[in-house]
Structure 1
Amino acid sequence: MEPSSPTPSAAPPRLLDRVRQEIRLRHYSLRTEQAYVDWVRRFVLFHDKRHPRDMGVVEVEAFLSYLAVERRVSASTQNQAKSALLFLYKAVLEQDLPWLGEIVQAKKGRRLPVVLTQREVRDLLQQLNGTMWLVCSLLYGTGMRLLEGLRLRVKDVEFERREIVVREGKGNKDRVTVLPENLLLPLREQLQRAQAVHRRDLEAGFGEVWLPDALAAKYPRAARAWGWQYVFPGNARSIDPRSGSERRHHLLESSVQRALAAAAHGAGISKPCSPHVRIYSPPVS
């Protein structure tokens, strides 16, 4: 009887899959994963599809200098690309690159912020209605950033104390901001609509929301709990690109940005408006 041939070992994971794996092991956000994978792909294509293990600091410097000199990207964009490539070499390929001091840095210009007057904000909000009006009113009334507002969970709205708890804000810090009195009733009505959506999802066999990995493991039932649902749920369920689970995410940033741009046009505001612009407050005499 002839001995059986050994079972061939599984093929090693491809480079980009290894990048994703290492990012997920460190519980980085999906947005960071997408950005890092994209920069690694661009780096490989820039060097005619050579494998990064056959390249090093010279090739990294050439790519980052190209971004600064030829593409004229912003300093923050170049820094993101640099972080992605350093992660690739240190965490994925386990190679230490020397200090990249010779890289041509994209110059970070100083810009004055766009500031809207209180009248302009009123005119802007008058062009909006429904959910978009409430989202933008919250952003301008509380000082939250766009993603902070869209990621707001039901449990973090404190009606009695008129507070909103912002979780994992800038710098991965929590903070508390004031909930404007004129938004109490509209926000309660929004929660009623969101709860109706959540009930329908539960009846259809869904109803889970994304939770950070540690929380999802520690509290497996929390993903279906009402308190963890988004205040502004999306219009449809979608497939989580990491787990493959069908869930309802929050509203998309782009939908709010488009609505705000259309409102600015309707209000005749020529300044570039975004959810992050500041509101002018006259000095107190």
Structure 2
Amino acid sequence: MTATTPTSTLSRDWVTLWFMVAMHGLALLAFLPGNFSWAAVGVALLLHWVTGCLGITLGWHRLISHRSFQVPKWLEYFFVFCGTLACQHGPITWVGLHRHHHAFSDQSNDHHDSNKGFWWSHMGWMFRDVPAKREMGRFTRDIAEDPVYLFFEKYFLATQIVLGVVLYLLGGWPFVLWGIFVRLVVVYHCTWLVNSATHKFGYRTYETTDKSTNCWWVAVVTYGEGWHNNHHAFQYSARHGLQWWEIDITWMTIRLLEMVGLAKKVKLANTNAAE
């Protein structure tokens, strides 16, 4: 998309639009009488951590998209699986779009360019046929032929259905409504806040070429991803919270993996080079 192409002229992605409408609508059913239980809420919170932290933040983002550290292949595939359960499309598509964003952050061809407004960068871009969706091949050559990645790319929705069946057998419809629909909607918006809020609210420690900011409340709900200006300044760094007050739960998890010998070649920001 060029600077002269209005977003309104892009054709709608009706599949994504109606999928998101359905997900949000089904999540509301969890709040009807008879569908609430603290056990179901506990399942949702546990799966939020598994899919949002271990899957998206640690796995798909810091490990795979940026290769900030290395783990054994079996553990990498486990994190790929956890991310697949976040139902944010398959890992190849997600990684490709994220790398595309970093290549063109806040430029006219950035698919969630924050200059186009909060709604667009938060979720509006998903409902349009943005060119980035067709330009991911050159950003994913390292994973595009991996059979495990290809399996989850093809069957990411099927794995969610299997999880739903398991939850139903364990706790009936309350487990399904909270563990699938409520949890997914919350993880979606937490992830999207990194695209929207952390290009609008907060402070900037480093003068990057985009509008990325450090936003503490986004860091709280995304396990440390809210220190986004730090991340754009040092994309390769496994640690995003660079100051003592910038709590980064995902970095703590990576550090634990390193201490037990499962994470190696951990890359850290060279803040002296940026001063």
- Which TM-score tier does this pair reach, normalised by the shorter chain? under 0.3
TM-score norm. by structure 2 comes to: 0.24
Of Structure 1 and Structure 2, which has the larger fraction of its residues in strand? 1
TM-score norm. by structure 1 comes to: 0.23
Structure with higher Rg: it is 1
Of Structure 1 and Structure 2, which has the larger fraction of its residues in helix? 2
